[in-house]
Amino acid sequence: MFLSAKTPLLAVDIGSNSIKVGRLMGTPGKYELLNFGVMPLESESVIEGVVQDEDHVVDALARLVKAEDMDTPYAVASVAGEAVMIKKIKVPMMNQEELEEFIPQEAEQYIPFDIDDVRIDFQILEGTPTLEEHELEEEEEKQEILLVAVQNEIIDSRSNVLTAAGLKPVIIDLDVFAMVNAINISRNLQDMGSVAIIDLGGAFTHLNILMDGVTSYTRDIPVGQDACTNTLMEKYELEYRESENIKVGAIPEGAEKEEIIEAIIESFEPILDELHKSFEFFSTTSNSQVEQAFLCGGGAMIPGVDGFLADRLGVPVEIFNPMEAVRLGSRKFDAQSLGQMAPMATVAIGLATRRFDYI
């Protein structure tokens, strides 16, 4: 099969807790799910987004790909965490070509990494004046761009894992951008004002705050749902898997349901602190308030988490189902279990909307 701009890529989301793969056929508004699968990973094989046990992760991915019976090796993956920096900066008015030359020279002052160790990308933010609209004498006028820098090491590590599992990575995206693409399948973020997308992952709470559909502020908060797993492990002297089972309803001997709920709520406190700080930062820098939030990631499957977060964040919260506007393909999907785990699939489904465009 030849790769064209229409070839559905295999989306690979290597999270700290599990790998998710997905594939969407078709175009926006008419997506059909070709594949979706999840493979749990051993604890600590991926730490804070960085693959530690490459053999295990490659093996898990290869098994997942085999089980899904994929007919294309072309893949899109994502990265997150410390190795990723996204920043809104102001630059002089230039067109795309000029920016491509200008940004790599300018970027160094904005990024906390050695410029030789990163790959840089950028996006002109809509809403700022374009070159055509502005007059020559307004030379001082600036435009906003979203600067993205990702350490080579993490891109290479992701690519190597995919290649070792028999795939051909053609795009490496970011979790926080994939979340946006997933939501845009069924919603028009550009008509929704200021919206926070919160992905309650294992190692991270990935956050993207958008204004009228445009990314305004992102963070991979390095505290996630593993904090809760660890608390439960310590509290009830359990193994990792046993503790994970509590989250899906198992109650260990001698424990009370109330106690468990309390431990879960407590583990959200550091996450809430960081979310509050981020909301605050967004409101002071953008003169706007977050009006609503979408929840995704494994933690979005905790019963009642939407109400709890709505209360603590002071905004309406909706648990997002990235499959809501996706037709289930001809393969036999178990619609019910797919629906239940849908929030966890958000990044994979967002990645699956990407197409590889030739130049």
Ligand X SMILES: Nc1ncnc2c1ncn2[C@@H]1O[C@H](COP(=O)(O)OP(=O)(O)OP(=O)(O)O)[C@@H](O)[C@H]1O
Looking at the Cβ atoms of 204 and 294, the one nearer to ligand X is 204
Task: Report the nearest approach of ligand X to the CB of residue 175 (Å).
Answer: 6
Are 346 and 320 in contact, with CB atoms under 8 Å apart? yes
**Of 248, 287, 336, 337, the one binding ligand X by CB under 6 A:** 248
Q: Which of 8, 22, 37, 49 is in the footprint of ligand X by CB under 6 A?
A: 49
Query: Which of 45, 157, 225, 321 contacts ligand X by CB under 6 A?
Result: 225
List phi, psi (to 5°) of 326: -110, 125
Could you say which of ligand X, Mg ion, none residue 134 binds, taking C-beta under 5 to 8 angstroms by partner kind?
none
| CA–CA distances in Å: residue 230 to residues 71, 227, 247, 261, 269 | 39, 5, 12, 14, 14
With CB under 6 A as the contact rule, which of the stretches 15-23, 58-66, 250-258, 267-275 interacts with ligand X?
A: 15-23
C-alpha angle with apex 11: 246 to 87, nearest 5 degrees?
Answer: 90
What gap in Å lies between CA 55 and CA 241, rounded to an integer?
21
Report residue 263 as tokens: 């431990």
Q: What are residue 246's phi and psi, to 5 degrees?
A: -60, -35
Q: For residues 61 and 178, what is the distance between their CA atoms, to the nearest angstrom? A: 19
Among 204, 217, 279, 282, binds ligand X (CB under 6 A): 204
List the structure tokens of 302: 């905790």
201 part of the interface to ligand X, by CB under 6 A: yes
Stretch (H or E) spanning 242? helix 240-247
Smallest gap from Cβ 268 to Mg ion, in A, equals: 17
Q: Which of 344, 349, 351, 352: binder of ligand X (CB under 6 A)?
A: 344
Q: How many residues does the chain have?
A: 359
Q: Report the nearest approach of ligand X to the CB of residue 14 (Å).
A: 8
The residues that touch Mg ion, with contacts defined as CB under 5 A, are 15, 201
Q: What CA–CA distance (Å, rounded) separates 203 from 223?
A: 6
Residue from 8, 17, 50, 295 in contact with ligand X (CB under 6 A): 17
Give yes or no for residue 144 binding ligand X (CB under 6 A): no
Is beta strand 205-211 parallel, antiparallel or unpaired with respect to 194-200? antiparallel
Helix/strand/coil for 285: helix
Binding residue for ligand X (CB under 6 A) from 73, 169, 297, 322? 297
Q: Between 94 and 319, name the residue whose CB sits nearer to ligand X.
A: 319
Size of the site for ligand X (CB under 6 A): 22
169 touching ligand X, by CB under 6 A? no
Residues that bind ligand X (CB under 6 A): 15-18, 49, 201-204, 224-226, 229, 244, 247-248, 297-299, 301-302, 344
